[in-house]
Amino acid sequence: LALNINSFAKFLGDQNEIVAYLYDDASQEQVDEITEFLRTNDNVASYNYISKEEALEEQMSYLGEYGDLLESYQGEENPLPASFRCTVKNLSAIQQTSDELSVLEGVELLSTPTELASVLITLKNAAFYGGFGVLAILVFVSIVVISNTIRLTVFARRKEIGIMKFVGATNGFIRLPFIVEGIIIGLVGASIPLVLLVVLYDKIVGYVATQFVFVGEL
């Protein structure tokens, strides 16, 4: 569950984009300077330059059959600005990257999803620490259960162990059956949930994905 939450948060984080809108009179030198900044910045995962024409075509495609309404804005009448869209590697440093980008010449306006990034960081931290806490509890419970099981098993077979000691059995010879029995029980006990997880996981994920697609279509 923790891994899935973390993966989901990472997926949403990868969709977060810093959009830098440029002035209409931004020079090619300024565009090249911004490109070089994005190319060399350690926190920028990917970036893409969207020209004014591409921005208009994108809006026309969003409108579908009504996209023809924007044809009159082609050419010099195009009101949409050129922009850079970039994704970051570390969401916690998204504000710093945005601040560094905002001071570059040619950048008129920035759209930075800082609030969503904060929520995703909180979600990832909660999933990590929550999963680690549950894992620690399970490890402690497992140790207690295994320890008590060994004691009960040895107590139940104390007569057999005593007889084996009387006839000269070594400690290793006495322990070997317990070790083999424990390995067999452990393998069987681990195989059953593993098989169930492999069989049911894909079905559950497929069902959830179908439900989300259905909601999205609505």
Using CA atoms, how far apart are residues 154 and 203, in angstroms rounded to an integer? 43
Q: How far is CA 57 from the centre of its chain?
A: 32
Q: What is the DSSP string of 42-59?
A: TTEEEEEEE-HHHHHHHH
Please list the pLDDT of the chain residue by residue as tens digits (218 residues): 777 777 777 776 666 778 899 998 888 999 999 999 999 988 888 888 988 888 888 888 878 777 777 777 777 778 888 899 888 888 778 888 888 888 899 888 888 877 777 777 787 788 788 888 888 999 999 889 888 888 888 888 888 888 888 888 888 888 888 888 888 988 999 999 899 888 888 888 778 777 765 444 43
CA angle 199, 203, 208 (to 5 degrees): 150
Using CA atoms, how far apart are residues 19 and 112, in angstroms rounded to an integer? 7
CB neighbours of residue 97 within 10 Å: 21
For residues 34 and 20, the answer to whether their CB atoms sit within 8 Å is yes
Could you tell me the pTM of the whole model?
Answer: 0.52
From the list 16, 41, 31, 46, the residue with the least C-alpha distance to 82 is 31
